[in-house]
């Protein structure tokens, strides 16, 4: 499916959100350049858009971290944060709101999501404002733990496949129940038949997750290789593979990954292998007190010229590999949705040389519906190709002026 429509924010309102006490920003359809010194709140603006997209804070943060210090004191209420946006998606307009508030119970928060002033569940909100984010921290896609790469896959797929999002949430809950039972049986004894129900659920949910991920990685491979060749003038060097804890030959995985996204046949093929290996591994699971196979332990293997990118790639090669992956993510999202997602570039131009800056911006301009990008250096954003974007200047934390 080719992308035929766009998604864009026309207005963003932040209230008691990190360094922003109360600010409203009008955003042109093509996007916004955000300039300011470190610590002024540039990344926070993009984080607010990500929150509207995924309903979750950035990796390493909690909902409580989003709330400004001292929030609610003047009103005599519990501290809170609120993000609201006016959104156009295709030919429809909507008003999205995320409200987070601390409760009286220490360390606890509650979250309220609204679409056009009506309460909604997270599953109904995620992906309404599809985004792809690229920041210097994304180098962790190569250097970080498997959980970072699983999160990369989950964010992409949750925005384009509501069933995936539902299954992922249910899988996490069932997995917790099974792991609790493993510890209980390991300590107190009991029959293996107790696992029948949980294993059935784990397999049913996990097989779909694995099959959809494998298909997505196959699509990411083709597109990221093309982007990497364009960035480096070298083809065939970048390779991306879904590294599952389920055993299977390369040919078997190619058939699973080559299936249509959401293919029933692919899920069934995975389910047969998953059920057998889960049963055969029960003794090992009991010894460890946790489930050792499944999508919660899978990874994304990224290599350069046949070697593990995290060990043998230079920092420059690694950065370009991540850039290629992010552009591929944008392609897959656009093709799946039939809409151009919003692209968020968080202070990435300073990490690239002039040639790759131009390549990134050209690719971004062609592929994204709306572009929001930040920099500490105004000169990096003072380009003819970005003249259609408005400009936000931050002079101090939470203080912003808009031009354009």
- pLDDT tens column, 326-370: 999 999 999 999 999 999 999 999 888 888 888 888 888 776 689
Structural Rg of the chain based on CA atoms: 22
Q: Residue 3 pLDDT more than 70? A: no
Architecture of domain 142-340: Up-down Bundle (1.20)
Q: Residue 4 pLDDT more than 80? A: no
Q: What is residue 370's predicted lDDT score, i.e. its pLDDT? A: 93
Judge contact between 130 and 298, C-beta under 8 A. Answer: no
Nearest to residue 343, comparing CAs of 89, 1, 4, 8? 8
Judge contact between 321 and 149, C-beta under 8 A. Answer: no
Distance CA 14, CA 76 (A): 19
Least confident of 25-29, 243-247, 332-336, 387-391: 387-391
Confidence of residue 191 (pLDDT cuts 50, 70, 90): confident
Q: Residue 132 pLDDT more than 60? A: yes
Q: What is residue 1's predicted lDDT score, i.e. its pLDDT? A: 42
Q: What is residue 404's predicted lDDT score, i.e. its pLDDT? A: 57
3-state SS string for the chain: CCCCEEEEEEEEEEEEECCEEEEEEECCCCEEEEECCCCCCHHHHHHHHHHHHHCCCCCCCCHHHHECCCCCCCCCCCCEEEEEEEEEECCEEEEEEEEEEECCCCCCEEEEEEECCEECCHHHHCCCCCEEEECHHHHHHHHCCHHHHHHHHHHHHHHHCHHHHHHHHHHHHHHHHHHHHHHHHHHHCCCHHHHHHHHHHHHHHHHHHHHHHHHHHHHHHHHHHHHHHHHHCCCCCEEEEEECCCCCCHHHHHHHHCCCCCCHHHHHHHHHHHHHHHHHCHHHHHHHCCCCCCHHHCEEEEEECCEEHHHHCCHHHHHHHHHHHHHHHHHHHHHHHCEECEEEEECCHHHCCHHHHHHHHHHHHHHCCEEEEEECCHHHHCCHHHCCCEEEEEEECCEEEEEC
Enumerate the domain spans of the chain. 1-130+344-404, 142-340
Q: What is the mean pLDDT of residues 38-42?
A: 92
State the chain's mean pLDDT as an integer: 92
Helix pair 162-188, 196-232: axis angle to 10 deg = 130
Confidence of residue 100 (pLDDT cuts 50, 70, 90): very high
Largest CA distance in the chain: 70
Q: What is the mean pLDDT of residues 21-42?
A: 94
Q: Residue 2 pLDDT more than 70? A: no
Q: What is residue 31's predicted lDDT score, i.e. its pLDDT? A: 94
Distance CA 76, CA 248 (A): 59
Q: Which residues pair with 110 in a beta bridge?
A: 101
| pLDDT tens for each residue of 289-328 | 999 999 999 999 999 999 999 998 899 899 999 999 999 9
Fold of 1-130+344-404: Rossmann fold (3.40.50)
| Planar angle of CA 110, 116, 119, nearest 5 degrees | 30
Helix pair 196-232, 250-257: axis angle to 10 deg = 80
Which range is most confident: 98-107, 185-194, 287-296, 352-361? Answer: 287-296
Taking the CA of residue 121 as centre, how many other CA atoms within 13 Å lie in the half-sphere pointing to its CB?
Answer: 6
């Amino acid at each position: 499916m080719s992308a035929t429509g766009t998604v864009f924010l026309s207005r963003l309102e932040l209230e008691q959100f990190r360094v922003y006490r109360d600010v409203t920003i009008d955003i042109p359809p093509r996007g916004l350049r955000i300039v300011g010194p470190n610590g002024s709140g540039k990344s926070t603006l993009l984080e607010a858009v990500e929150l509207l997209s995924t309903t979750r804070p950035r990796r390493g943060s909690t909902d409580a971290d989003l709330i400004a210090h001292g929030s609610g004191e003047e009103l005599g209420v519990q501290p809170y944060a609120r993000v609201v946006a006016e959104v156009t998606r295709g030919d429809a307009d909507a008003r999205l709101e995320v409200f987070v508030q601390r409760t009286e119970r220490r360390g606890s928060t509650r979250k309220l999501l609204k679409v056009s002033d009506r309460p909604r569940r997270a599953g109904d909100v995620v992906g309404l404002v599809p985004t792809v984010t690229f920041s210097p921290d994304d180098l962790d896609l190569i250097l970080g733990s498997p959980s970072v790469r699983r999160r990369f896959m989950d964010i992409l797929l949750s925005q384009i496949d509501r069933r995936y999002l539902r299954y992922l949430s249910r899988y996490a809950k069932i997995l917790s129940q099974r792991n609790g039972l493993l510890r209980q049986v390991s300590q107190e004894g009991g029959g293996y038949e107790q696992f029948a129900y949980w294993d059935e659920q784990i397999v049913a949910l996990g097989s779909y997750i694995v099959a959809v991920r494998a298909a997505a990685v196959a699509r990411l491979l083709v597109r990221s290789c093309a982007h990497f060749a364009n960035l480096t003038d070298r083809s065939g060097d970048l390779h991306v593979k879904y590294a599952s804890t389920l055993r299977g030959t390369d040919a078997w995985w190619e058939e699973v990954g080559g299936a249509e996204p959401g293919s029933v046949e692919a899920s069934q093929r995975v389910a047969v292998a998953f059920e057998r290996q889960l049963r055969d591994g029960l003794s090992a699971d009991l010894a460890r007190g946790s489930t050792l196979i499944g999508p919660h332990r899978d990874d994304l293997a990224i290599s350069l010229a046949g070697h593990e990118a995290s060990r043998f790639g230079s920092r420059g090669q690694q950065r370009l590999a991540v850039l290629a992956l992010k552009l591929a993510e944008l392609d897959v999202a656009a093709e799946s949705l039939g809409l151009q997602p919003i692209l968020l570039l968080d202070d990435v131009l300073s990490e690239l040389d002039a040639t790759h800056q131009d390549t990134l911006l050209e690719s971004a301009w062609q592929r994204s519906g709306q572009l929001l990008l930040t920099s500490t250096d105004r000169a990096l954003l003072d380009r003819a190709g970005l003249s259609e974007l408005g400009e936000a200047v931050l002079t101090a934390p939470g203080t912003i002026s808009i031009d354009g």
